Amino acid sequence: MPKQSTGILIYRIRSGSAEVLLAHPGGPFWTSRDRGAWSIPKGEVGDHEKAIEAAIREVWEETGLQVAGPMTELRPIQQKSGKRVLAWAWKGDFNPEALRSNTFRMEWPPGSGHLRDFPEIDRVGWFSLQEAKRKIIPGQIPLLNELAALLMAT
């Protein structure tokens, strides 16, 4: 069975246009990667945890943002890796300078025997939908398209 993640596509409206908050993964592998590397804040669902509860928890752990209020469920997607992603759209705001991410530990440099802590998310940013499509992992573009369609319908 493929892995499953759950997350929240956070958006705001500025000067009549939608912007989305994307997260850049931390750690040495991602340091110099930009195009196609960003993601919605997301993570795995814990045992006995509802997907929406996991999405809210993951946003908190990865950014420090507390999400509350109405959300719109988006159609599930499947990334190239096979991972299935369940997501919700939420209208809110966040100051990227307030980012507070949990960390993970790994041996770095490889084979050195030294364990180092890295932030799970090293930065977040607000992007227009057009720019977000260049930044986001390609498999998550359908989430941006669905959000655009939802916003056009309102």
Model pTM score: 0.94
How much is the pLDDT for 47?
86
Domains located in the chain, CATH noted: 4-153 (3.90.79.10)
On whether the CB atoms of residues 77 and 139 are closer than 8 A, the answer is: yes
**Of 4, 74, 10, nearest to 46 (Cα)?**
4
Radius of gyration of the chain (CA): 15
On whether the CB atoms of residues 117 and 105 are closer than 8 A, the answer is: yes
Strand positions, DSSP E, the chain: 4-14, 17-25, 42-44, 72-73, 77-78, 84-91, 103-107, 115-119, 121-128
**Of 28, 24, 11, nearest to 137 (Cα)?**
24
Q: Which residue has the tokens 């991410």?
A: 101
- Two tokens, residue 1: 């069975």
Distance (Å, whole) CA 18 – CA 153: 13
pLDDT higher than 90, residue 1: no
Distance (Å, whole) CA 140 – CA 75: 11
Residue range 1-8: mean pLDDT, rounded: 86
User: pLDDT tens, 40-85?
Assistant: 999 999 889 999 999 999 999 999 999 999 999 999 999 888 889 9
